[in-house]
Amino acid sequence: MPKTYEIRATFDRENITVYQAFNKKIAEEALKHQTFQSSFSRNRMTWIKPSFLWMMERSNWGRKSNQEHILAIQLKRTTFENILSQGILTSPSKRVYKSGAEWEKRFKEAKIYLQWDPERSFRGNKLEYRSIQIGISRHVIQEYVDEWIVGIKDMTPIVKKMYQLSKKGDHAKAKKHLPVEKVYSLNDEIKGIIGASR
């Protein structure tokens, strides 16, 4: 049984993959230039998710309006861990903060937001353990676009294929196309910041 609060992701020695969903224009520009362009807003928060199945739940397998295109975005692992180290949870967890007042003060100053949501099964059911999503505020979104992104891959065709197979009842065949996700190890300092299980 996975621990309640841990990050599971696709990664190698250098990079980690996170997911976002966008409309066609934003996605096509991003894929062409390997980062986001003018149609992507730098003036509002954007959320990245290491869990592929959580992204599928959020976008309804790329079927929600303005979320039809699923992008796999690669970040350096060092960058990803630096992002986490700046994060503030979206609720005053007693596992992390000494008091509600401490959390409130830090939340008002935050530039990176962290939220643990129930992980999802292939069929969209809530699981007992959690998955993290990371909110990048407008104060640092320029860094995300101009410095943090290593590369972008289009996952839309494989998402559509999995969805169609699943609709036909071929769940086992569909699952073979899922990205391989493993537990992402973190040092104790970052675990403490993000409220990860020890």
152-158: average pLDDT: 98
**Residue 162 pLDDT level (bands cut at 50, 70, 90):** very high
Inform me whether the pLDDT recorded for 22 exceeds 90: yes
Q: How far apart are CA 68 and CA 59, in angstroms?
A: 7
pLDDT on residue 42: 95
pLDDT in tens, 90-146: 999 999 999 999 999 999 999 999 999 999 999 999 999 999 999 999 999 999 999
Q: What's the confidence (pLDDT) of residue 74? A: 98
For 87-104, what is each residue's pLDDT tens digit? 999 999 999 999 999 999
pLDDT at 1: 81
Domains of the chain by residue range: 8-179
Query: How do residues 48-86 score in pLDDT, each as one tens digit?
Result: 999 999 999 999 999 999 999 999 999 999 999 999 999
